[in-house]
Structure 1
Amino acid sequence: MKSVLIASYDMDVGGVERSLAGMLDRFDYRRHSVDLMLYRHQGDFMALLSDRANLLPEERAYATFRQSVAEVMKNRHFAIGIGRILSKLHVKYLGERRGIPEPGYYQMQLMWKYTLPFLPKSKAKYDAAISYLWPHYYVADKVEANMKIAWIHTDYSTIATDREMDLAMWSKFDSIVAVSEACKESFLAKYGELREKVVVIENVVSTEAIRKLSNEPTDNPMERDDRFKLITVARLSHAKGIDNAVRAMKLLNDRGLDRIVWYVVGYGGDEDAIRELIADNRLEDRFILLGKQTNPYPYIRTGDLYVQPSRYEGKAVTVTEAQVLGKPVLITNYTTAASQVRNGIDGWIAELSVEGIADGIERLYRDEALRSELSANCLRTDYSGSEGLEKLYASIALASKKGGA
């Protein structure tokens, strides 16, 4: 039996966390013993974790990554706290000097750089160690394993990082997993020298669980709404384009399409700005924020059209989940869109603009036959991604050979 470590941050509500839960649910525990290292044991999706994976005790030093600097200092992790402060000052300087619009990824890199010397190493050795969420420094530098594997969930052409720092980290991995072909190519456009290490494994989705959860009773206002219901499940952030969704809803309203309502499940740092935008456009009864929901599937099931208005994605788990439930989906033409849906077959790709989103929604709203065709094709398609796990098992099988066993 192969020993496997899987590391990630926590189980807050998000697509990566749902994907991790899906993979753990479908993992072959007959051939693998799995330790799960979460930096912090928190999040509404903790309940989704398979009890067949061994959740390791929380390490106080790693839990600091989900705490404020004030909390870190209060808990007497002074070196880590100072490292966090230095990373913030460093990225502020770089952001102003280089004009980086979204420096969050850069700051995360620097945070690890400054705190790495003060973080403990894993006491166990594994056949394979999997780092599921970037940055991957824990598995790269603090874990001993015969085989190290890192996951890519985002479109690397859209984010600012220190290339040399990142390359040094990636070089410590034997295999790099991208969640789509387009995600792979966007990564290789930046790190072409790593081509031989990169493979594609689609997100593993527990289709049975999604269908079962979609029928759970919930106080869902969408069930009492007889209008044409758009539904989006996403963080309220710049990347997910919810601000553009509000503007598109205003455009649809101006076109006289007043029987359309847009519901959004999710939370995030842009919530106040989005609520202000909704109020400015007098859309309080047309664009409705439902907040964080541990189980988003009843809301997806109740919608007439699932919409992903993102500016960029690796591969949106929520889109696949909507397809599993047989929903027609509309996504924007972000860089990796073509690997997300088959345009006109099991989804519709709209131009990535306010007008493009509005035009796409209007087209699908008016064409019931097209929506029905997209829905039927979704129901005929297997989105489980289970074949990807066989690729992962093959990589893990090589670990013993590499280790000399």
Structure 2
Amino acid sequence: MKNILIASFDMEVGGVERSLISMLENFDYKNYVVDLMLYKHQGDFLELVSDKVNLLGEVPQYATFRKSIGEILKDKQYSIGLSRVFSKINAGILGKVKKFEEPGYYQMQLMWKCALPFLPEVNIQYDVAISYLWPHYFVAEKVSAKKKIAWIHTDFSTVETDIQLDLKMWRKFDYIVAVSEACKTSFLNKYGELKNKVIVIENITSPEFIREMANRKVDNPMIKDNRFKILTVARLSHAKGIDNAVKALKVLKEKGYHDIAWYVVGYGGDESMIKGLIKESKLDDSFILLGKKTNPYPFIKEADIYIQPSRYEGKAVTVGEAQILSKPVMITKYTTAKSQVKDGFDGYITELSIEGIVSGVEKLYNNFDMRQKLINNCSNTNYSNSFELNKLYKII
């Protein structure tokens, strides 16, 4: 049996974490022994990790990547704390000079690079080591394995990174797995020399699990809401475009669509900004933040339509889950959108703008036949894809 290490940050509620849960649930444990390295043992999804996986003990130095600088210094991890301060200052300066829209990715790169000398190595020799979430420095630099594989979940054409710094890391891997063809294309537009390393393995989905979870009873205000209900499940961040959703609903209300309610399941750094936008737009009773939910599926089940208003995506796990639950899906025209839905068949792609979102909602709201067509096509499509894991076994 081959020994495999899979590494990720934690098990907080998110699309990447949900896809990891599904992969671990469907893994071939007859032929592989799997160790899971989580930098921090936290998150509501922790209890969903398969009991066939060996969860390694938390290592204090790696746990710092999910802590604030103050907490790190309090824990007396002074070298790592100072490296974090240095990376934050440098990323802030460079972000302003180069006018980065989101310097957080560059800061993350610097943070790992500066902290590397103070991070311990893993003293086990693995057959295969998989790094599931960028940046992949831990597996690249601190793990000994015959074969190394890195996963990419985002559209790299939209994030600001130090390309040369990234290339040094990517070159340490034998394979790089993209979660969609579009994700692969955007990655290679930035890192063309890695062409021979990149393959596509889609996020593993389990329709049976999703439908079973959707039928569980939860405290859900959507059940008693008789309005036309839109749902989005997403992190409250710039990438996910929730601010544009608020602005779009304001326009819809001004156009006379008073019986629309937009619910959002999720949490994140933009929460206070979005709450302020909701209040300013006088949408407190119709744009409703439900917060973090371990089980988003009962909320998807109650929606009339599901919308992903993102600015960019690798491949949104929640869109596929909404399709499994036979919901009319609308997504914005982010770079990888066409790999997410078949436009007009099992989803609708609208322009990536506030006006585009407004237009798309109007179209679906006013066209019952269109909604029914999307529902029927989703119902008649088999979204199960555990066979995707065969691609992973092949390269292992």
- TM-score, length of structure 1 as denominator length: 0.97
Indicate the residue corresponding to 1:49 in structure 2. Answer: 49
Indicate the residue corresponding to 1:12 in structure 2. Answer: 12
CA distance in 2, matches of 1:93, 1:275: 29
CA distance in 2, matches of 1:268, 1:239: 11
The one-letter amino acid paired with 1:219 is: D
- Report Cα offsets for 1:139-174 as digits up to 9, x if no partner: 001111111000010000000000000000000000
The one-letter amino acid paired with 1:12 is: E
Is there any run of 5+ residues in structure 2 with no aligned partner, and where?
A: none
The one-letter amino acid paired with 1:350 is: T
CA distance in 1, matches of 2:12, 2:384: 22
CA distance in 2, matches of 1:291, 1:149: 34
| Structure 1 position 206, deviation (Å) | 2.1
Indicate the residue corresponding to 2:129 in structure 1. Answer: 129
The one-letter amino acid paired with 1:307 is: I
- TM-score, length of structure 2 as denominator length: 0.99
| Equivalent residue runs for 1:335-346 within 5 Å | 335-346=335-346
**Runs of 4+ residues over 4 Å off in structure 1:** none
Indicate the residue corresponding to 1:74 in structure 2. Answer: 74
| Structure 1 position 306, deviation (Å) | 0.3
| Structure 1 position 214, deviation (Å) | 0.5
For the residue of structure 2 that corresponds to 1:189, the secondary structure is helix
Indicate the residue corresponding to 1:172 in structure 2. Answer: 172
Indicate the residue corresponding to 2:251 in structure 1. Answer: 251
Aligned: 1:371 with 2:390: no
| Structure 1 position 383, deviation (Å) | 2.1
Cα contact 1:25–1:206 (8 A) shared by 2: no
For the residue of structure 1 that corresponds to 2:223, the secondary structure is helix
CA distance in 1, matches of 2:262, 2:156: 30
Indicate the residue corresponding to 1:399 in structure 2. Answer: none
- Report Cα offsets for 1:181-238 as digits up to 9, x if no partner: 0000000000011011100010001221111111111110000001110000001111
CA distance in 2, matches of 1:379, 1:51: 32
CA distance in 1, matches of 2:9, 2:377: 35
Aligned: 1:159 with 2:159: yes
The one-letter amino acid paired with 2:145 is: A
Indicate the residue corresponding to 1:37 in structure 2. Answer: 37
CA distance in 2, matches of 1:211, 1:63: 34
For the residue of structure 2 that corresponds to 1:222, the secondary structure is coil
The one-letter amino acid paired with 1:183 is: C
- Report Cα offsets for 1:70-107 as digits up to 9, x if no partner: 11111111111111111011112211221112100000
| Equivalent residue runs for 1:1-400 within 5 Å | 1-396=1-396
Is there any run of 5+ residues in structure 1 with no aligned partner, and where?
A: 397-405
Cα contact 1:177–1:201 (8 A) shared by 2: yes
For the residue of structure 1 that corresponds to 2:127, the secondary structure is strand
Cα contact 1:4–1:32 (8 A) shared by 2: yes
The one-letter amino acid paired with 1:48 is: L
The one-letter amino acid paired with 1:381 is: T
Task: Quote the sequence identity (%).
Answer: 62
| Structure 1 position 382, deviation (Å) | 2.3
Cα contact 1:10–1:38 (8 A) shared by 2: yes
| Structure 1 position 385, deviation (Å) | 2.4
CA distance in 1, matches of 2:211, 2:319: 14
The one-letter amino acid paired with 1:10 is: D
